[in-house]
Structure 1
């Protein structure tokens, strides 16, 4: 029997949460590595992505109408990791 496993979920956004500036993805990176991701059991999934020394968060929204992808601005890995932790704790969104 395969155990039921759920990955992390993004936290419920707090009233004072940092706003993430989401934009349409740009095809600027040849190869993108997904370093972390939230659980696939939700309609909105987040991925921490990296390429060419930069990192960013990708937001994937799956609805009956289709899939919408938005991304934060690429930044240093340290800043993206900090934003990722804020997203998981509800301090950003």
Structure 2
């Protein structure tokens, strides 16, 4: 993909963004749904690096609920998917599992 550097090791050393660890062997598969666009505005609370990764994640809040947005740029055109919208504590648990590599 254009704009991406070719040496991933060099890029990780120079990039200050949040990078996910490799998936753990017992990794839980999150249910990814088509982008909902249910609310007029979405607030991004946290995010992973999108400069050096083709797949990035955002912890989002909208309408009193939270969800995780996944953007996949591996095939050129970004494909956006989301988890279901849930109460804060449930989504924070999913976000933590994502950051630890125990969910994707």
Q: TM-score, normalised by structure 1?
A: 0.88
Higher relative contact order (CA 8 A, sep 6+): 1
In the alignment, structure 2 segments of 5+ residues that lack a partner are 1-13
Q: Which residue of 13, 30, 35 maps to 1:25?
A: 35
> What SS class does the counterpart of residue 66 from structure 1 fall into?
coil
SS at match of 2:72: strand
May I ask how many residue pairs the two structures share in their alignment?
Answer: 90
Q: Distance in 2 between matches of 1:17 and 1:91?
A: 4
Q: Secondary structure at the match of 2:78?
A: strand
Deviating runs (4+, > 3 A) in structure 1? none
> 1:65 Cα deviation (Å)?
2.8
- Structure holding more helix per residue: 2
Structure 1: any 5+ residue segments left out of the alignment? Answer: none
TM-score, structure 2 length as denominator? Answer: 0.79
Cα RMSD over matched residues?
A: 1.3
Q: Which has the higher strand share?
A: 1
Task: Deviation per CA, 1:40-59: give whole Å up to 9, x if none.
Answer: 22111100000111001000
Out of 70, 82, 88, the residue aligned to residue 93 of structure 2 is: 82
Once the two structures are superposed, residues 28-84 of structure 1 have per-residue CA deviations (whole angstroms, 9 ceiling, x without a partner) of 111100000001221111000001110010000113531110111110111111110
